[in-house]
Amino acid sequence: MAGTEYSYDEQGQFFPFFVLTIAGIVTIPLTYSVLKPSSDPGATAPRIKTDFRPEHADLIDAQRKAQKRRERKLKRGIAVVVGWATMALMAYLILVTARTIPKIWNPYDILGISDSASEKEIKSHYKRLSLKFHPDKIRPDPAKNQTLESLNDYFVELTKAYKALTDEEIRNNYQQYGHPDGKQSFSIGIALPKFIVTDGNGKYVILLYAALLGVLLPYLVGSWWYGTQRMSKEQVLIESANNLFREYSEDITEGGIISALSTGVEFQKTLKGDKAESGLERLESRVLAQGDMTALAGGLTAKDRTKLEDLEGGVRRKALGLLWAYLGRVELDDSALNQAKIEVAPIARALNASFNAIALAFGSTGPILASFLTAQNLIQAIPPGASPLLQLPYITPVIARAIEGDAKTHLTLQQYMQLPDAYRRKLSIGKGLLTESQYQTAMNVAKQLPRLQVEKAFFKVTGEKYITPGSLVSFVVKGRFVPPGSENVPEVNELDLEDVDPDEDDLDAILGRQKKSGKGEKSAKEDKPVQPPLAYAPYFARNYSPRWNVFLTDSKQGKMAVPPFTFVSFDKPIFDESGKPTFNMQTLKAQFQAPPQAGHYTFVMHLICDSYVGFDTKMEVTLVVDEATKAAEIEAEDDISEPDEDSLAGQMNALKTGGLTGAPPKKKKKPVAEESSDEESNTDGEEAEDTSETDTDTDEE
């Protein structure tokens, strides 16, 4: 029964359609994913130009290239090519295969008359035709390839068509089933070639089905599931994340974090087999040798040293040794070891991101800051607490020490670059120090580093004058990128420091939020976000796009108050085409919920770039939260447009304030929140912002 109703695709005329569709469904999205512009910052972001080549630059470059190759999606590319080839083949097959499309039976066409012909016309037309085509009347014409039979058939067709148009019953049949003889046997085509169901092949098909459903599907689902289970949100192995969590402690230092990072399971992959032990002794003797700047060459403290030496041998100890060797830029005189040294840094950075997430979950300021500083150290290959000057090319610990003299604290890059040029030259150039060309290269790099100099930081609620308890507060940081040693830094334009609310016809208006129209001219139109240049990190074997993190901490409790907001791109260009800094005012905004009680809240704002050492900003900011009644009152005074609500709100307010305090509180004229002091971190130079510009102007001749 079924066999008669289903017809298989014996001529293979539908099968290509089926395959083409399936291939298209898979290939077209895949093609998009292959061809779409890479989100990798290394592809699009500008770079800091220098001709400095660090030691083992070939090894570092080789690893960068290897990473690129890994990211190149080769498999996907091949799949796309195969997919398109299949589709082309199928399209070819479709074109080539003769199609047997069943003709739609149309009596009017057969009789050769128009659809609008009346019954009379039909009759006369049929008579004329029957006279002409009756098999008794005409002879088969071999020239036209006619036989008696075909003529006969043709006449039968004509008769059928005529009957269909005149006979009541047959016309019904035609209308219902599309054929004068009534219901025709119908068939459902299956777009599969017949060989799939022929007797001998049945078992192979079942086998294939079992393999697909019973083996491949569970395998795919399983590998996907365990793959997601294996990696944490920060893209490290979950086991490493667990280890890091165990290593966390409230008083962890940067050195402690480095030790903690060595618990990462990722290192087992790079240091597998005999790599786990080979060269351990040489490595440790080098790392623990007398250092140029720090007591030990690797830059370890005594505590870190005991930690390293307490470890049992194996992967962890070697990883830790390699990490310290990397941070201390220790030459290991062994290409395998040197390569491993370069390899561990990107792994450690990824692990540190995981540690950072853990520290943020704990919420204590100390570990959070330490993990940010560790990221800087790892990217710049500088041991914890070493001189930030090491970020510049050619500067070795010896030279950095000579430049800094015997000071207890380190010169930051900005301080170094603010020294008068002649004096700086004298400190830096000389025997055992930099040569003239090296000095120029270093200066050149320093003047390209993006240092975000904060000009103003304040709180506001969009469209409101006062911050009321529980409202959504924007923390606005206004800053400019001022590379260290920039000359002729323009004065801050006061207009730039204001944060103008978007106009009413903006998106916020649609969302139903009320606001007053912005005063002052509108800020420059929003362009595409601008990427900062890739981090200048000659020792780090990855292209890394720097991130700026803004977060607020409570200095009294030592806890984080507002979690970090991360910025990877900015709204205005940082450097112009020729590579000169533009000193555009950048706006960073972080939103959070205001505290539920009114009062003054003092926070410490941290602005940390995770790629450069010593570019951090620490600043005290005060959040003033006013009673909700006060804000309502101000609104009542301000708004004249809505008299009904206005008067009501005014009365309510008068009632409330009168009942509570007796006299309405004095209206405040000053802005709600202002930066209370511009105390900066010790790494950030102690000069006040506005004086710093004049300093640079005069000094740098």
Binding site for another protein (CB under 8 A): 214, 229, 232-234, 238-239, 241-242, 245-246, 248, 250, 354, 357-358, 361-363, 402, 404-409, 411, 415, 423, 426-427, 430, 679, 682, 686
Q: Name the residue among 300, 341, 296 with its Cα closest to residue 318.
A: 341
Q: 673: buried, middle or exposed (CB in 10 Å: 19+, 13-18, 0-12)?
A: buried
- E strands within 113-232? 188-190
Report the nearest approach of another protein to the CB of residue 616 (Å): 14
Locate the DSSP E strands across 568-661: 585-593, 599-609, 617-625
Provide the minimum distance between the beta carbon of 144 and another protein in the complex, in angstroms, as a whole number: 57
CA 156, CA 167: separation in Å to the nearest integer? 15
- Please check whether residue 436 is in contact with residue 421, taking contact to mean a CB–CB distance below 8 angstroms: no
| Residue 314 near residue 277, CB atoms below 8 Å | yes
Report in angstroms how near the CB of residue 361 gets to another protein at its nearest: 4
Q: In angstroms, give the least distance from the CB of 346 to another protein.
A: 19
Cα–Cα distance for residue pair 180/70, rounded to 1 Å: 68
Q: Residue 142 or 405: which CB sits closer to another protein?
A: 405
Single-letter code of the amino acid located at 631: A
CB of 508 closer than 8 Å to CB of 517 = no
Handedness of CA 299, 302, 303, 307 (dihedral sign): positive
Can you read off the two tokens belonging to residue 547? 């991130």
Q: Which residue number, 405 or 659, has a Cβ lying nearer to another protein? A: 405
CB 569 within 8 A of CB 83: no
Shortest gap between Cβ of 509 and another protein (angstroms)? Answer: 34
Q: Hey, is 553 helix, strand or coil?
A: strand
Separation CA 539–CA 64 (nearest Å): 11
Least separation in angstroms between residue 607's CB and another protein is 18
**63 vs 364, beta carbon nearer another protein:** 364
Q: Closer CB to another protein, residue 218 or residue 579?
A: 218
Structure tokens at 112: 């050769």
Rounded to the nearest whole angstrom, what is the least distance from the CB of residue 222 to another protein in the complex? 10
Q: CA 255 → CA 320, 403, 429, 607, distances in Å?
A: 11, 25, 32, 22
Q: Residue 614: left (phi > 0), alpha (psi -120 to 50), or beta?
A: left
Rounded to whole angstroms, the Cα distance separating 537 from 542 reads: 9
Evaluate whether 500 touches 522 at the Cβ level (below 8 Å). yes
CB of 608 vs another protein, minimal distance in Å: 18
CB of 313 to another protein, least distance (A): 19
Q: Which 8-state DSSP code applies to residue 564?
A: E
Identity of the residue, 416 or 459, whose beta carbon is nearer to another protein in the bound complex:
416
| Interior angle at CA 387, CA 383 and CA 393, nearest 5 | 90
| Pick 234 or 498: Cβ nearer another protein | 234
Cβ contact 151:133 at 8 Å: yes
Q: Which amino acid is at 662?
A: G
Q: Toward another protein, which CB reaches closer, 410 or 460?
A: 410
Q: Nearer Cβ to another protein, position 391 or 683? A: 683
Strands 6-8 and 188-190: parallel
As measured in angstroms, the least distance from the Cβ of 242 to another protein is: 4
247 vs 639 by CB, closer to another protein:
247
Start-to-end Cα distance in the chain? 100
Minimum CB separation of residue 102 from another protein in Å reads: 37
Compare residues 145 and 229 and give the one whose CB is closer to another protein. 229
Nearer Cβ to another protein, position 32 or 209?
Answer: 209
Q: How far apart are CA 654 and CA 664, in angstroms?
A: 8
What does the alpha-carbon distance between residue 561 and residue 365 come to, in Å, rounded to a whole number? 9
**Which residue, 80 or 348, is less far from another protein as judged by CB?**
348
* Nearest distance, CB of residue 238 and another protein, angstroms: 4
